[in-house]
Structure 1
Amino acid sequence: MLAEYDLSLVIASYVVALLAAYTALYFGTRLNTAQGGERRRWLITGALVMGSGVWTMHFVGMRAMPMEAPMSFDTVMTVVSWLAAVVASGVALNIIGRTRISAALFGTATLAMSGGVVVMHYLGMYAMRMSADPVVDTGFLVLSVIIAVVASGAALAMCRKLQGLEGGRALMIQFVAALVMAAAICGMHYTGMIALQFPPGAVPAADNGLRGEWIGIPLAVACVALLAVALVVTIMDVRARRELELKKAEESRWVEQMAFVDSVTGLPNRSGLEQELLEHLARPDAREHPFALIYLDVANFRELTDRLGHRELEDAIREISSALRADLSDTVYLARYSAGAFVALVPDYESADHAFMYRRLRQIDGSITTAGMAITWRAGQSVYPTTGTSSRKLVRAAMVPRDLNDIGHFANMEATPELALPGQLGGS
């Protein structure tokens, strides 16, 4: 009754199973993160893709073993076999797509999936409504059921495993998993074909509504087209999720950055200065890389705030910070420490490269003008490790007022046991 396998249809059946497995795995993993209406859409689509793919593979596989008589199928039984595959896939994906499942629920999902595949397969074979009863090989029948259960369990376990993976690695593992799943699906099908064979001379019922010539390559092409659409959807979804992740990461970096940046001047703020100091102090060879802090406080800041509105004051602060930045060496780290105060971190502070900068700072009083007002300054300085070995001590030492002419002269710097508190300086 059965001739040799048609290799082209065998290959077509595996390709259909592979595409169905790949898209179903992806749709299954998306259920874990989707909520509400979005989850229902992924579930319904996943059930249709997986169920239709397995169902198509079955009928293409049947055509791979040409019969002596023209093949045909009962319409109702064929549709019911399709529904069995789709419903079973939906039940299994719905369970496996939950955030947490017990061993009992996993077993239920496995039995639902395997049961649907077995019903679909044997109902699809009976849909030919042959003139003679089939010959059942019990051993192969039991083996086909075992393969269905094991394959379904493995597929659902892969879905669970893939839910915790992201990026290219997840897609690669998903593809390998799909290869294994497709082999298992085909293995169950062809084992089932051996388990249920019709005797020589048996012919399909004359009133079958579906002709065999439409069950094979045409059905495979139609299903591949459906799966191709599903694959396009998955690719678009991967891109959308990746873009969303990149956007979230960028926003997170922006928020993190803004925590260390002054919103008015764009300079590092007090937290940014603290972070920079800690990085310098945490170096294993920190003492081999001494640095200086120069504290620059606008002495007439209160007068400036009394004369200007909020926006005008912000513009004035930006002008002051820009002019101050221009007076400093390129390697100097400048931060806005408070409303009217700035701190400059000077690496390798004794380098001759900073000589011109120190000269400008000693002459800074009245050199910067904004809103028709010449800015006057109070200044101080500290040196690591001479005046302190912690960020707090260094900043407090730098806040002790000194004559502007002392800026840049570090020969007599020493630790001061009693330091003025920030509130004692005023104007900031």
Structure 2
Amino acid sequence: MEWLGLQFVTELPESGQVILNCSHNPLLVLVAYLVACAASFATLDMAERVGHAEEPRSQRLWRWIGATCLAGGIWAMHFIGMLAFQAPIDIQYDLPITLFSLLIALLASWLAMHTLSESQPSLVLYLKTALVIGLGIAGMHYVGMAAMQSAATSYYDPGLFTLSVVIAIGASFAALWVAGYLREGSGLLHQILKYSAALILGAGIFSMHFTGMAALKLILPEASTPTLTAETSHLQLGLTVALITLLILGSAISAALADKKLQHKEHDLRRVNALLSQLDQARMSLQQVANYDALTNLINRRGFNQIFAEKLNQKAIEGGMLAVMFLDIDHFKRINDSLGHDAGDALLKVIADHIKGSVRSHEDVVARFGGDEFCILIGLHDREEARSMAQRIMQKMKEPIELAGRRMVMTTSIGISLFPDDGTTCEELLKHADLALYQSKGAGRNGLHFFNSNLKNRATMELQLEEELRHALREENGLMLYYQPIFELKTGKVTKLEALIRWQHPVNGLLTPDRFISIAENNGLIAELDNWVLRRACKDLGELSRHGCDELKIAWNCSPLNLGREELADEIENALRTAGVAPERLELEVTENALMGNIANTLVLLRQIRALGVSLSIDDFGTGYSSLAYLKRLPLNTLKIDRSFIIDIPNATADMEIVQAIIVMAHTLHLQVVTEGVETLEQYEFLERSGCDFIQGYLLSRPVPLDELRPVLEEINQRKQSHAVNPLILARGTFAPALLDPSPKSPAPHAGASIVRPIR
């Protein structure tokens, strides 16, 4: 078989031929192996770059560079190997055929790089490509062999020829598989594997070439004589080709390394940019969380304060007015208690939308401070603008809201402060708006109020009184009890006393309960204050017993807030035991409204107290719920008629009829009746005729301290024994100081007010 003048399968002639002995230059053989290894390393590096390239353009570029490096390296190794071939005849090389062999190598290398460009090439693809590439490399080699021009005829050993083709295919498969395996990875171990693979693949390519050269036999005619030439240019040319090839491969490897570093920097830059983007998103999220309310998406207190400070500085420079509005939803707690917090949250969203819909969207700031409290900041020219907006919000709030299958209408209380009239700092304006809101709620809710200086003075005074009340309770200094006699009409004697607290203030003098009870209730002091009154009343009752008043009872008023405390029964028992007083001599007074606040729990507590032996009295009857249904359920002993029904007797016929009806009803329920606020003889005589059991009021005596009490009691009781007529008539001048007033019909200050309600 002859191809391009080469004898592949033809047998050697038996005679008339001379077989030439050929050899190879060892240095060029070594250089050829180094070039093959360099080409293999460059090919692996280029394959790695193709796998890491992210843009199609970059992939195509590195694919062609890799193909050129592989083709150039294989071809240069082959060319250097041919230059290393030494024969005793003159050998020349045909340039077109040589270049054609380079083209074959380039096509085979391009096919190899194309296969390595696949993201996940299969084993079958590797085998098919290795077959084509191996045949291409073998074709390149033997085409290059065909470029040799000499007087000798080239014959090839069929076995070695076939082996060289198999080595080419095997080396191609190994190159493809190793390149695909090493395409991913990094680090020192990865580089060591790549160097080792380059040496092995270079050996495969080198072995294929020299196996093919070993299959070559040069035959001369028998009459021909070999011409021994001393060619020295082959060594120089081979070294030059090797140097140029290595420089090209080195440049390609350097470019790949630079691109790899650049790509790593780009990756790092992208990671940094991604991290910066995530940090920006996190910062924005944190800012959203820090400055905005998650439920209503309104700004919160922190965000409001920042905007408020900026607008305040702007107005201070440019001039103008600002209004701060505090809004509080009236009775919002009822929604949470009755419908649940989810319904309350849904309602807050609707209310937030109502408020936002009532303000100027771009100029005004709406914030939620927490719970059901909202705040609005608006710029304005006069205070009437603030009033108009507040009224608009209140009108918007009156629109019915569908919630949890119910149709409801909510109202709001609003407090307003103005810059610069009511303050020049954020803290001042917010505090003053809050004081105005407090006034709106105290005035019955569903209203608006502007701040005024009186509110600040009152708040300052209340704060000071709170601090001083704490000190008075802690030091037990300044607090005292006054006692007002309760006269029993049947026996004509004082059989009860009502304990009434007073505070001897070091600056403001003697304070009645209306000045400090609400402060105690609003600041968590009422339980301690009530307990102090209880203990002092029991102690004073023990003192009275030691002076012969061992039949007197003391009525003690309990705060409505205390009726929710389970410890109350134990505190009463401890106070009685400490003072050595019988429980029957203590009477607990509670108001109607206090009883009805939580009737179930209150009923349990009152039964515990009643089980101790303590009497129970309902105070201010007729001013609260006045429900007859609960009277039969409560373990009561006494019913006290409020002074508002007595004050106009005998001029008010309706009041007289009401009082008579209450007395009859109470007696029907086996309850004793006490009427408070009795100030005239006409009132006394009416109550006596109506069958009232006890009276209390200025007709008997004002409340007096303990050290003044016994003379008053002795004088009232002595009058009963020394006069057959009514003792009160004979003792008017002595024991009814209110009657000395030139205007006895005018209601005197109700010094007999209880601890839990203001003086009327």
Give TM-score scaled by structure 2 length: 0.35
**Any residues of structure 2 matched to 1:13-412 within 5 Å, and which?**
13-34=32-53, 35-199=55-219, 212=234, 215-261=237-283, 297=302, 300=305, 303-304=308-309, 306-307=311-312, 373=425
SS at match of 1:134: strand
Tell me, yes or no, if the aligned pair for 2:37 and 2:202 is still in contact at 8 Å: yes
Letter in 2 for 1:142: T
Shift of 1:214: 6.5
* Counterparts of 2:248 and 2:153, CA distance in 1: 35
SS at match of 2:51: coil
Cα 1:90–1:203, aligned 2, differ >3 Å: closer, same or farther? Answer: farther
Tell me, yes or no, if the aligned pair for 1:84 and 1:117 is still in contact at 8 Å: yes
1:12 paired with 2:34, answer no
* Counterparts of 1:257 and 1:301, CA distance in 2: 22
Tell me, yes or no, if the aligned pair for 2:49 and 2:256 is still in contact at 8 Å: no
Cα 1:373–1:28, aligned 2, differ >3 Å: closer, same or farther? Answer: same
Q: Which moved more, 1:99-108 or 1:79-88?
A: 99-108
Alpha carbon RMSD of aligned pairs, Å? 3.6
Shift of 1:215: 4.5
* Counterparts of 1:254 and 1:159, CA distance in 2: 36
Tell me, yes or no, if the aligned pair for 1:13 and 1:57 is still in contact at 8 Å: yes
Task: Say how many residue pairs are matched.
Answer: 291
Tell me, yes or no, if the aligned pair for 1:298 and 1:375 is still in contact at 8 Å: no
Q: Deviations over 1:192-250 (max 9, x none)?
A: 1111222368999xxxxxx8566511211221121122122112112211211221222
Which runs of 5 or more structure 1 residues have no equivalent in the other structure? 205-210, 273-294, 310-338, 342-371, 379-402, 404-428
* Counterparts of 1:242 and 1:302, CA distance in 2: 44
* Counterparts of 2:91 and 2:313, CA distance in 1: 92
Which runs of 5 or more structure 2 residues have no equivalent in the other structure? 1-19, 227-232, 291-299, 315-366, 370-423, 432-462, 464-760
Cα 1:169–1:296, aligned 2, differ >3 Å: closer, same or farther? Answer: farther
Tell me, yes or no, if the aligned pair for 2:94 and 2:148 is still in contact at 8 Å: yes
Tell me, yes or no, if the aligned pair for 1:81 and 1:123 is still in contact at 8 Å: yes
Structure of higher CA gyration radius: 2
SS at match of 1:100: coil
Tell me, yes or no, if the aligned pair for 1:144 and 1:188 is still in contact at 8 Å: yes
Shift of 1:58: 0.9
SS at match of 1:197: strand
Q: Deviations over 1:242-261 (max 9, x none)?
A: 21122122223323333433
Tell me, yes or no, if the aligned pair for 1:151 and 1:181 is still in contact at 8 Å: yes
Higher share of residues assigned strand: 2
Letter in 2 for 1:197: K
Q: Deviations over 1:109-158 (max 9, x none)?
A: 21221111101111111210333322321221111111111110010011
* Counterparts of 1:8 and 1:375, CA distance in 2: 93
Shift of 1:167: 4.7
* Counterparts of 1:222 and 1:299, CA distance in 2: 74
* Counterparts of 1:162 and 1:40, CA distance in 2: 19
Cα 1:2–1:45, aligned 2, differ >3 Å: closer, same or farther? Answer: farther
Q: Deviations over 1:84-106 (max 9, x none)?
A: 10111001211221113344432
Tell me, yes or no, if the aligned pair for 1:52 and 1:86 is still in contact at 8 Å: yes
Q: Deviations over 1:43-100 (max 9, x none)?
A: 2221111101001101212222322224321111100011110111001211221113
* Counterparts of 2:174 and 2:265, CA distance in 1: 31
* Counterparts of 2:23 and 2:147, CA distance in 1: 22
Q: Deviations over 1:284-325 (max 9, x none)?
A: xxxxxxxxxxx995784563365478xxxxxxxxxxxxxxxx
* Counterparts of 2:272 and 2:139, CA distance in 1: 50
Q: Which moved more, 1:16-25 or 1:59-68?
A: 59-68
SS at match of 1:173: helix
* Counterparts of 2:189 and 2:301, CA distance in 1: 52
Cα 1:155–1:271, aligned 2, differ >3 Å: closer, same or farther? Answer: farther
* Counterparts of 1:71 and 1:215, CA distance in 2: 15
